[in-house]
Structure 1
Amino acid sequence: MANVEGIDTERRMVRAGGGTFPYDQLIIATGATHAYFGHDEWAPHAPGLKRIENATEIRRRILLAFERAEFEDDVELRQALTTFMVVGGGPTGVEMAGAIADMAHDALPRDFRNVDPTRTRVLLVEAGPRPLAAFPEPLSQYARRALERRGVEVLTGQTVTSIGPETVSIGDRSIKAGAIVWAAGVAASAAADWLGANRDRAGRVKVSPDLTIPGLPEIFVAGDTAAVTDDSRKPVPGIAPAAKYMGCYAASVIAARVMGQPLPGSFRYHHQGDLATIGRKAAVVRLRRLTLKAFLGWAFWGVAHIYFLIGLRNRISVAFS
């Protein structure tokens, strides 16, 4: 429950919570946070989705927007309150836009008398030419069509220039929204500052092939905090499977050192594929030699996520849900 304030690499001490903690070997896996591209003042108006607290706050804002619209007599204000903006067309943005649309059309219509949730306006803004840019173009185009069938307006090639209280500016256009969600970028934690280490443009620590810091073999950096490349010199993606592989690798190196065994070779990551859900019974999946979409993609996505849950009871209950 303590926040790290700094690391003394010479004395091998971590300063946290007003105290100091010595270490023999140290793994830093402090993840990433939202990046607002130099506009941190946007953060209070457009929360991102990184933690459970973020999810509950976004849900609270969406539901309160509908509640306020229920008691609003002004038609224009009611339309503004039932307009929701998602900034960023990656997997998080696509999934969020689809979830809001599904909730408005399937879960909420019977809960209100004066406002019609099925007429909710959901906008997804992406600065690039297409959503899900990391996926093959056919899957990206399918995702766009699936979102549009749900009533989501997909705005590509457009950038957000300003975000204020319930207002988003796209170029010269200003759009009022009941809730705004940020899914456009991430930045690494302050680990590079603690260590005085080299970093990339996203603030991630540049590490050696064994995930240690050059000149500091007792310090490992893993997950979204580390700038790592695979065998083809491409950056390892900032996703959970990659972070898990890094954690297992760092643990194996430490175990080998402690037991005096030969050290494993350099860290190697084999990307298994990408998954993104769009909404009920719609998802896209790209594996090495296989692509899936629509219901088959959604079923695969569900099985993959349920498989990694802890405990048989959790898997069964989530599968039924």
Structure 2
Amino acid sequence: MARHKVVIVGGGFGGLSAAQALGGADVEVTLIDRRNHHLFQPLLYQVATASLSTSEIAWPIRHILRKRHDVTTLLARVTGVDVAGKTVLIADGAPVPYDSLIIATGARHAYFGHDDWEQFAPGLKTLEDATTIRRKLLLAFEAAEREPDPEQRGALLTFVIIGAGPTGVELAGAIVELARETLKGEFRCADPSSARVVLIEAANKVLGNFRPELSEYSLQALRDLGVEVILGEPVEAIDADGLVYGGKRLDAECIIWAAGVQASPAAKWLDVEPDKAGRVKVAPDLSVPAHPEIFVVGDTATIAKADGKPVPGVGDAAKQGGKHAAQVIRARLRGDTTPLPFRYKHAGDLATIGKRAAVIDFGWIRLKGWLAWWVWGIAHIYFLIDTKNRLAVALSWLWIYLSGQRSARLITQGDAETRPPINDVTES
């Protein structure tokens, strides 16, 4: 008798958790991802700001699952799902058959109907995004060093982050410290400490999902660090030379988008109606209505918690979702068809502001300041994949904390002599 075939699309938090939770079950697992690595997204901004290297927050999927002989890993781009034929369609390859399908493809940044803004304001979801942003940041300082016009130099040293969620807040703090500590004394004409970091948020608070007292603390900590925080001012236009917000023009050649997300095209693959963010509306057990053999987890799915609010699009929710889908499949293989609704358990909200302050809300305890920063760091190190990376990240952070120096500052893409260099976001 043929073993039950489980296909998992996506090797992120949700997909990898599903694969791990299926260990020991009487199944054949095929994991498909368009990239060969699993990425620890919460630390992606540290690659973008030259604190960590790419290999410190990403690991080859094949290496992670090397001892799982029941798992086949395919590096491929999924183009669709043949629901009737129960196969996953991939580019440049034969369709992959499944008995159960878990879709955990995550999300990309969304520009609220202004996709043309992406060429001027890249988002941060992948390693490619992070290295592109790092290059833009570092080349901005290089361009300012050779720019004789003070006004143009000021635009080159103006860094704008759009969106004041955790990613935007963490980017803003890290860019300030990169400019004022790491690059101190390295330039002769441009003054990195004069860099202007602007954080723009359409809502009236930073870290909108946090409790008011933690949001207020974060706002003050950002301003104490030197970040210009602009609230209640939506962005109206972005071009190669800057942006317009609240009817005001700001010249800046380095703009980063951290404002919104859009789900993968999974709803289109399955021919189901998505929500406004493109997510699949799933049943209580995370399966697709009318297709109980298909599960959608993480940022690709939308489902409400017990209090009626949607499950947040965070890594821990994706992990729990992937594990739950695996549990449902295992139960069905045992002949147990009892409904098993997904119960999300919120672990807490965390965000850091520079290298000396953070805010943490675990529900039962709330922390802010220096102590919260240490708890934040320990928590993130704990969830890294292996001991080598935990030690490498811990040592990198300790060095940055003591010296202010960031070691991952190599400019390795494109031609640094091209003007204007920081607008070239094409991957080599």
Residue number among 239, 255, 260 corresponding to 2:314 in the alignment = 239
TM-score for the superposition, normalised by structure 1: 0.97
Q: Residues of 2 paired with 1:51 and 1:102: CA distance? A: 23
Q: Residues of 1 paired with 2:332 and 2:251: CA distance? A: 58
Q: CA deviation at 1:265?
A: 2.1
Q: Residues of 1 paired with 2:385 and 2:234: CA distance? A: 40
Residue number among 276, 287, 290 corresponding to 1:215 in the alignment = 290
Q: Residues of 2 paired with 1:68 and 1:263: CA distance? A: 63
Residue 136 of structure 2: aligned partner: 61
Q: CA deviation at 1:258?
A: 2.3
- 8 Å contact from structure 1 (residues 166, 180) kept in 2: no
Q: Which residue identity does 1:14 align to in structure 2?
A: V
How is 1:143-154 mapped onto 2 (pairs within 5 angstroms)? 143-154=218-229
Deviations 1:100-142 (A, max 9, x none): 0011111011221111111110000000011111111111111
Q: Residues of 2 paired with 1:3 and 1:54: CA distance? A: 18
Q: CA deviation at 1:185?
A: 0.3
Deviations 1:14-53 (A, max 9, x none): 1111432211110011111111000000001100110111
Residue number among 203, 211, 214 corresponding to 1:128 in the alignment = 203
Residue 267 of structure 1: aligned partner: 342
Once the two structures are overlaid, the 10-residue window that deviates more, 311-320 or 237-246, is 311-320
* 1:73 aligns to 2:160 (yes or no): no
Q: Residues of 1 paired with 2:234 and 2:355: CA distance? A: 28
Q: Residues of 2 paired with 1:184 and 1:317: CA distance? A: 30
Once the two structures are overlaid, the 10-residue window that deviates more, 136-145 or 119-128, is 136-145
Secondary structure, counterpart of 2:147 in structure 1: coil
Residue number among 150, 160, 168 corresponding to 2:235 in the alignment = 160
Q: CA deviation at 1:274?
A: 0.1
Root-mean-square deviation (Å): 1.2
TM-score for the superposition, normalised by structure 2: 0.73
Deviations 1:257-303 (A, max 9, x none): 22334657211001121000111111100111211111011011001
Q: Which residue identity does 2:346 align to in structure 1?
A: H
Q: Which runs of 5+ in 1 are unaligned?
A: none
Residue 118 of structure 2: aligned partner: 43
Residue 407 of structure 2: aligned partner: none
Q: CA deviation at 1:171?
A: 2.7
* 1:14 aligns to 2:62 (yes or no): no
* 1:202 aligns to 2:277 (yes or no): yes
- 8 Å contact from structure 2 (residues 88, 95) kept in 1: yes
Q: Which runs of 5+ in 2 are unaligned?
A: 1-74, 397-428
Deviations 1:38-69 (A, max 9, x none): 00000011001101111111010011010000
Residue 276 of structure 1: aligned partner: 351
Residue 28 of structure 1: aligned partner: 103
Secondary structure, counterpart of 2:102 in structure 1: strand
